[in-house]
Amino acid sequence: MSTGLIKNLLLFPLLSAFLVSVTVTPLVIFLYRRLGWVEDPQKTHRPKDTHTYPVPRGGGIPIYLSLLVTGIIFLPLDTQLKGIIAGITIMAIIGVADDRLDLNPYLRFFLEFLAAGFVVISGIGIRFITNPFGGVINLSPVIATLVALVWIVFLANIVDWAKGFDGQLPGVVVIAGITIALFSLRYSADITQWPVAILASITAGAYLGFLPYNFYPQKIMPGYGGGTLAGFIIAILTILSTSKILTGMVVLGVPLIDAVYSIIRRISTSKSPVWGDRGHLHHKILDEWKWGKRKAAIFYWLITGILGGLALSLNSRQKLYTIIMLAVIIGGLLLWFDFLKSYSSQSGPDKRSKT
C-alpha cells in the first residue's frame, strides 16, 4: 500500500475533519452559553447525570459540520452520500432540539427511523449476512430494509448511552473510526472500499477535534446529537461492507453489551427501556470503584483500543467468540455490581428506633 494512498484515504480526511471540529466547537460553547442553553444539574436532577456544574450540550453541531464539510470535500456527491447527508442532518436537528427542549425518547426514536430511512433509500442496506461458520445468509428486500433500519437506530442509541462522563464518548469513537478505516485499507485494491475508509477517517477526525473540549473538566457535552451521530455513522460504516458488522460489534463491545444488559434490566423491573438511569457500567465504575472521570475515560479508551486491535486481527468466527466472551465478562461484572449493591442495602445498619 502506497504512502500516498494512506494520506489520501486516512490522514488528509482525518486532519481536515479535526480542524473543522476543533475550530467550531469553541464557537458553539460561546453561543450556547450566551443563549443560556446549558445543562444545570441543580435544576434537572436526573440520576444518569455525572456533571456537577452547568455545561452546554451542543456537541452535535461542530461534529455535524465537520462530517458535512469534509464529507463533501473528500467524497463523491453520489446518491449514497446524499442519503447520508440527509440522515445526519435530521440527526443533528434532533440533537439541537433535544438540547433545548429535552424531547421525549419515543419521539426521538420515530425521527431517528426517518433519518435512517433516507440512508436505506439511498442504497445502503444489509442484503446478506456473513455466517461466521461459513457461507452467507441472503435476506429478502423487506427483511434487509428492516434489519438495516433497526441496526442503524439501535447502534445510534447504544453509542449515545456511552457518553456518561467527560471524554468517554469521543475517545471511543475515534478508536472505532480508525479501526474501521484501517480495516478498509486492507482492501484498498477494491476502490469501492475507499469511500468507507475516508468516511471512517472523517468520523475519527471530527470526534478527535471535539475531544479536547469534552475531556475532564469538560467545557461542552456531546449531547444527544453528538452521541447519536457517532452510532449513526458507525452503523452506516459497518453495513457498507457486511464484513465490518462483526468488526464494529467487537470494537464497540463494551457499550453494546452494557446497553443490552441495561435494556434487559429495565424491562425485567417493569421500566421503560429508553428512559435513562444510573445503572450503566460507567456509572458503576464512578460510584462503586470511586474512580475519577479522567481515569475512567482512559480506561474506556484502553479497553476499546485493545478490542480494536483484536477486531483487526481476528477472523469472523473468532470475533463472534470474542463478543460472547465480552458478554460473559461484562454481564458478570454488572451482575456483581448489582449483587453488591443489593447485599449492602440488606446488610446495612438497622435504622429502626430501638424500644
User: pLDDT-derived band of residue 351, with 50, 70 and 90 as boundaries?
Assistant: very low
Surface-to-core class of residue 133, CB atoms within 10 Å of its CB (0-12 exposed, 13-18 middle, 19+ buried): exposed
Is the pLDDT at 348 greater than 60? The verdict is: no
Please tell me which residue, 43 or 340, carries the higher pLDDT value.
43
Cell of 102: 429535552
User: pLDDT-derived band of residue 136, with 50, 70 and 90 as boundaries?
Assistant: confident
Q: How far apart are CA 111 and CA 43, in angstroms?
A: 27
φ/ψ of 181, rounded to 5, equals: -65, -45
User: pLDDT-derived band of residue 284, with 50, 70 and 90 as boundaries?
Assistant: confident
Q: How far apart are CA 320 and CA 314, in angstroms?
A: 9
On whether the pTM is more than 0.85, the answer is: yes
Residues constituting the chain: 355
Q: How far apart are CA 223 and CA 185, in angstroms?
A: 31
Is the pLDDT at 314 greater than 50? The verdict is: yes
Cis peptide before 105 (omega within 30 of 0): no
Please tell me which residue, 7 or 327, carries the higher pLDDT value.
327
Residue 101: its pLDDT value, please?
87
Would strands 128-130 and 55-56 be described as parallel, antiparallel, or unpaired? unpaired
CB atoms within 10 A of CB 199: 29
Across 1-10, 195-204, 293-302, 312-321, least confident range? 1-10
Identify the DSSP state of 289: S
Q: Does residue 174 contact residue 211 with C-beta atoms inside 8 Å?
A: yes
Average pLDDT, the chain: 87
Predicted confidence (pLDDT) per residue in 31-74, tens digit = 999 998 888 776 766 655 566 678 998 999 999 999 999 999 99
Q: Does residue 123 sit in helix, strand or coil?
A: coil
Give the ranges where the chain is alpha helix by DSSP (H).
3-6, 12-35, 41-44, 60-74, 79-101, 105-121, 141-160, 168-185, 194-214, 223-240, 244-251, 253-268, 281-287, 293-313, 316-346
Q: How far apart are CA 207 and CA 220, in angstroms?
A: 13
Q: Does residue 223 sit in helix, strand or coil?
A: helix
Cell of 86: 440527509
